Amino acid sequence: MRRLRYYGPAVAIFVGVLAVWEIAVRAFGIQQFLLPRPSAIAAAFTEHFDELVTVGGNTLVEAVGGLLIGGVAALAVALATARWTAASRALLPFAIAANSVPIIAFAPIMNNWFGVLNPLSKMMVVAVLVFFPIMINTLRGLTLVDRSSLELMRSYAATELAVFTKVRIPNALPYVFTALKVSATLSLIGAIVAEYFGGARSVLGQFIITEAAFFRFANAWAAIVVASAVSIAFFLIIVAIERVAIPWHASSRSAESS
Amino acid sequence: MSVRGVDKVFGTGRERTEALRRIDLEIPQGAFVSLIGPSGCGKSTLLRLIGDLTQPSVGTIEVNGKTAHRARLDRDYGMVFQSPVLFDWRTVQRNVELPLEMTALGRTQRAARAAAMLALVELAGFERRYPWQLSGGMQQRVAIARALSFEPALILMDEPFGALDEMTRERLNLELLRIWKQTGTTIVFVTHSIPEAVFLSTQVAVMSARPGRILEVISVDLPQPRNDLTREDARYFGFITRVRERLRGHDVAPPRAAEVAASG
Amino acid sequence: MFRAARGVLSFAAVIAALGVLWEGIKLLGGDPNGAWTPPFQWTVASDLNMPHVWDIAASFVEPAQRNGPPLGLVLGDAALFTFREAFGGFVFGALLGLALAIVFVHSRLLERALVPYVVASQTVPIIAIAPVVVIWLQGGWLAVAVISAYLTFFPVTIAGLRGLRSPDPRALELMRSYAASPRSVLFKVRLPAAAPYLLAALKVAATASVVGAIIGELPSGIREGLGGAILNFNQYYVSGPPKLWAAIIVAAIVGIGFFVLVRAAEAFLMRGRVPAAET
A129-158 confidence digits (pLDDT tens): 899 889 888 888 888 888 888 888 877 777
Do C120 and C174 reside in the same domain of the chain? yes
Do C82 and C39 reside in the same domain of the chain? no
Kindly state whether residue B175 falls inside one of the protein's structural domains. yes
Distances (CA, A) of C185 to A76, B68, B103, B179, C33: 47, 21, 14, 29, 69
CATH of the domain at C141: 1.10.3720.10
Predicted pLDDT of residue C277 = 43
Kindly state whether residue B190 falls inside one of the protein's structural domains. yes
Contact by Cβ (8 Å): C93, C209: yes
Distance between CA atoms of residues B188 and B79, nearest Å? 10
Residues B103-144: tens digit of each pLDDT: 888 899 999 999 999 998 889 899 999 998 999 899 999 999
Distance between CA atoms of residues B66 and B72, nearest Å? 10
- Quick one: closest CA in A to C234, which residue? A108
At B66, the pLDDT band (50, 70, 90 cuts) reads confident
Comparing CB atoms, the residue among A94, A104, A256 nearest residue C211 is A104
Kindly state whether residue C58 falls inside one of the protein's structural domains. no
CATH of the domain at B216: 3.40.50.300
Predicted pLDDT of residue C279 = 39
Do C40 and C88 reside in the same domain of the chain? no
Which positions ≥6 away from B170 have C-beta within 8 Å? Answer: none
Which positions ≥6 away from B258 have C-beta within 8 Å? Answer: none
CB contact under 8 A, B130 and C273: yes
Do C138 and C29 reside in the same domain of the chain? no
Residue A257 in this model has a pLDDT that exceeds 60:
no
Residues B218-260: tens digit of each pLDDT: 888 888 888 888 888 888 999 999 999 888 866 555 555 444 4
At A168, the pLDDT band (50, 70, 90 cuts) reads confident
* Average pLDDT over every residue of A207-219: 83
* Average pLDDT over every residue of A48-55: 89
Domain positions in chain A are 1-30, 34-250
Do C214 and C106 reside in the same domain of the chain? yes
Kindly state whether residue B168 falls inside one of the protein's structural domains. yes
Kindly state whether residue C65 falls inside one of the protein's structural domains. no
Interaxial angle between packed helices A38-47 and A49-82, expressed in degrees from 0 to 180 and rounded to the nearest 10: 90
Predicted pLDDT of residue A102 = 76
Residue B82 in this model has a pLDDT that exceeds 90:
no
Do C130 and C38 reside in the same domain of the chain? no
Predicted pLDDT of residue A60 = 92
Gyration radius (Cα) of chain A, Å: 22
Residues B16-65: tens digit of each pLDDT: 788 888 888 888 888 999 999 888 888 888 888 888 888 888 888 888 78
Distances (CA, A) of B190 to A62, A214, A222, B252: 64, 76, 64, 19
Comparing CB atoms, the residue among C11, C120, C278 nearest residue A228 is C120
Based on the structure, what is the number of domains in chain B?
1
Which is more confidently placed, A112 or A173? Answer: A173
3-state secondary structure of B26: strand
Domain span including residue C9: 1-50
Kindly state whether residue B231 falls inside one of the protein's structural domains. yes
Predicted pLDDT of residue A258 = 34
Predicted pLDDT of residue C256 = 86
At A111, the pLDDT band (50, 70, 90 cuts) reads confident
Distance between CA atoms of residues C77 and B176, nearest Å? 67
Residue A5 in this model has a pLDDT that exceeds 90:
no
CB contact under 8 A, B53 and C195: no
Kindly state whether residue B143 falls inside one of the protein's structural domains. no
A175 lies within 8 A of chain C by CB: no
From the list C142, C143, C197, the residue with the least C-alpha distance to C167 is C197
Do C98 and C222 reside in the same domain of the chain? yes
Contact by Cβ (8 Å): B6, B48: no
Buried b (16+ CB within 10 A) or exposed e, C170-185: ebbbbbbbbbbeeeeb
- In this structure, chain B runs to a length of 264
Predicted pLDDT of residue A1 = 63
Contact by Cβ (8 Å): A248, A66: no
Predicted pLDDT of residue C27 = 83
Do C1 and C120 reside in the same domain of the chain? no
At A73, the pLDDT band (50, 70, 90 cuts) reads very high
- In this structure, chain A runs to a length of 258
User: Is the four-CA dihedral A204, A205, A209, A210 of positive or negative sign?
Assistant: negative
Do C158 and C196 reside in the same domain of the chain? yes
Predicted pLDDT of residue A252 = 42
Do C19 and C101 reside in the same domain of the chain? no
Residue B161 in this model has a pLDDT that exceeds 60:
yes
- Quick one: closest CA in A to C263, which residue? A97
CATH code, A34-250? 1.10.3720.10
**For testing contact with chain C, the best of B85, B110, B127 (most C CBs within 10 A):** B85
Residues B5-18: tens digit of each pLDDT: 677 777 666 677 88
Return the partners of chain C (3 or more C-beta pairs < 8 Å).
A, B
Based on the structure, what is the number of domains in chain C?
2
A112 lies within 8 A of chain C by CB: yes
CB contact under 8 A, A185 and C122: yes
Residue A64 in this model has a pLDDT that exceeds 90:
yes
Residue B2 in this model has a pLDDT that exceeds 60:
yes
Q: What is the full per-residue pLDDT of chain C (279 aa) written as tens digits?
A: 666 777 777 778 888 888 888 888 888 887 877 777 878 777 777 777 788 888 888 888 888 777 788 888 889 999 999 999 999 999 999 999 999 999 999 998 898 889 888 888 888 888 888 877 887 787 778 889 999 999 899 989 989 998 999 998 999 999 998 989 999 999 999 999 999 899 889 988 998 899 889 888 887 777 888 888 888 888 888 788 888 888 888 888 888 889 889 988 988 888 767 654 443
User: Is the four-CA dihedral B37, B38, B40, B41 of positive or negative sign?
Assistant: negative
From the CA of C179, how many Å to the nearest CA of chain A? 31
Do C87 and C199 reside in the same domain of the chain? yes
Do C169 and C77 reside in the same domain of the chain? yes
Predicted pLDDT of residue C252 = 85
Kindly state whether residue C57 falls inside one of the protein's structural domains. no
From the CA of C273, how many Å to the nearest CA of chain B? 6
Predicted pLDDT of residue A153 = 82
Please tell me whether the overall predicted TM-score, pTM, comes out greater than 0.90 for this model. no
